[in-house]
Amino acid sequence: MAEVVAKEELDKLPRWARVAFVARCARHVQPLFVARWGASQEQIDAVEQAICVAERSADCAARPAAKTARYAAEAADEVAGEVDKTASRQAAEADHKAMNDPIYAASFDDAHFAAAVRARDIRAHKDPAMHAARAAAGAARAARDASSDVAHTCATAAARATVHSGAQADVRAAMRHDFDLLLNTAIAKEDRWTDNTPVRLQFFSLNSNFDIDQQIERSGIIDISPEINAKLVDYFRRYPERLYELPSRQFEELIAELFDGFGFAVELTKRTRDGGSDVIAISSKPIQAKLLIECKRYARKRTVGVGIVRALHGATMAAGANKGILATTGRISAPAREFMALPTTKWVLEARDFDGLVEWLDLYQKFQMGKIVGASV
């Protein structure tokens, strides 16, 4: 596997630019850890914290406390080890099952092949997650020791995380672009960087339009409100698992952008709103329609209860709207579904869970393509 950036090239970057670069590499492959592995929230938090240590250090050009960096790196490394250990156990279990399965028992070759196929599938899910966690650990270490050796190890782990992913070429190109962006900025004659120059959290989003991932800085502080647009929606269409990382207000803005793309006039309600709806969508063509949309950016296992649906129904009736829509990344409880299925509510209420949101993202893309085709005719 060809490296993204050689160690000699990393030597050209000032100290905090190196730290910012490896944090950025870890951030690029972080979705692979979430999407490719059934990680617990504790494991997800460990990987996130390790990346944040590096990002914050580069932002203020200050080394974190040795204990902080060591703890973050060790926690992320432990996650990588857990992934590797679990995958090895699963592969062994698959091998044992294949060898003892009556279907394959008559032929060692068939059993061996079945086990190999299963092991390959497990590895395709394990490797991206394991290397993504190791990249996060490397980023935390770089915050203390920003040598080119440490930085190169981290960048290499991030590159390895892409090997079994369909986005390998895109992610590696994005990493290379980030390096070139940092280097060209650092050596600019009018404002040459030193080893004491900080790299702000917003650096990539403000200086790059190469890929939408470079507009999302999730260092615990996402500020993407101005960039909620077609390109960002396409990013979430390709990586829907990242929806779980959005703060609630940005999730509401994303839903508003979807309905704007569907041809509605949209309005976000005030953040101090106390129940009812987060987005109002109005259409005048082909018929007049008013929709109230309640947005709940919940964890994947958190459930939306019937109380929220009842409140949405009441707000819909009070506003004289045609329909109330619940949009959530969580689950919809059975009582909530039963309430929406009542004869008096089934034509007034609608709900979209994670899978339904993915359908909206795909539909938005089709609307955008339709606009492009129509404009070119």
Share of the chain above pLDDT 90, in %: 36
pLDDT higher for 81 or 217?
81
Integer angstrom CA distances of residue 231 from 58, 69, 104, 224, 240: 27, 35, 49, 12, 14
**pLDDT of 323 above 80:** yes
Residue 122's pLDDT band (cuts 50, 70, 90): low
pLDDT higher for 105 or 342?
342
Q: In which element (H, E) is residue 346 found? A: none
According to the model, what pLDDT value does residue 223 have? 36
Q: Which of 303, 324, 326, 306 is nearest to 315 (CA)?
A: 324
15-66 pLDDT, tens digit each:
999 999 999 999 888 877 765 556 677 888 888 899 999 999 999 999 999 8
According to the model, what pLDDT value does residue 95 have? 60
According to the model, what pLDDT value does residue 213 have? 41
According to the model, what pLDDT value does residue 151 have? 93
200-230 pLDDT, tens digit each:
877 876 564 433 343 333 322 233 333 446 6
What mean pLDDT is reported for the chain? Answer: 79
Mean pLDDT of 317-341: 92
Phi then psi dihedrals of residue 262, to 5 deg: -80, -5
- Write the burial class of residue 294 (CB in 10 Å: 0-12 exposed, 13-18 middle, 19+ buried): buried
According to the model, what pLDDT value does residue 373 have? 41
In whole angstroms, give the CA distance from residue 71 to residue 279: 42
pLDDT higher for 266 or 166?
266
Mean pLDDT of 106-115: 50
CB atoms under 10 Å from CB of 113, counted, come to 13
According to the model, what pLDDT value does residue 374 have? 43
Mean pLDDT of 314-328: 89
288-311 pLDDT, tens digit each:
889 999 999 999 889 999 989 998
Share of the chain above pLDDT 70, in %: 75
In whole angstroms, give the CA distance from residue 2 to residue 253: 39
pLDDT higher for 311 or 128?
311
The encoded tokens of residue 108 equal 């060692």
According to the model, what pLDDT value does residue 85 have? 81
Integer angstrom CA distances of residue 92 from 97, 113, 115: 9, 14, 9
Mean pLDDT of 334-343: 93
Phi then psi dihedrals of residue 161, to 5 deg: -65, -20
Identify any residues that bridge with 325 across adjacent strands, giving them in sequence order: 293, 350
165-178 pLDDT, tens digit each:
656 777 888 889 88
| Torsion sign over Cα 95, 99, 104, 107 | positive
| Torsion sign over Cα 197, 175, 249, 365 | positive
Q: In which element (H, E) is residue 316 found? A: helix 306-319
Helix, coil or strand: residue 284: coil
Residue 316's pLDDT band (cuts 50, 70, 90): confident
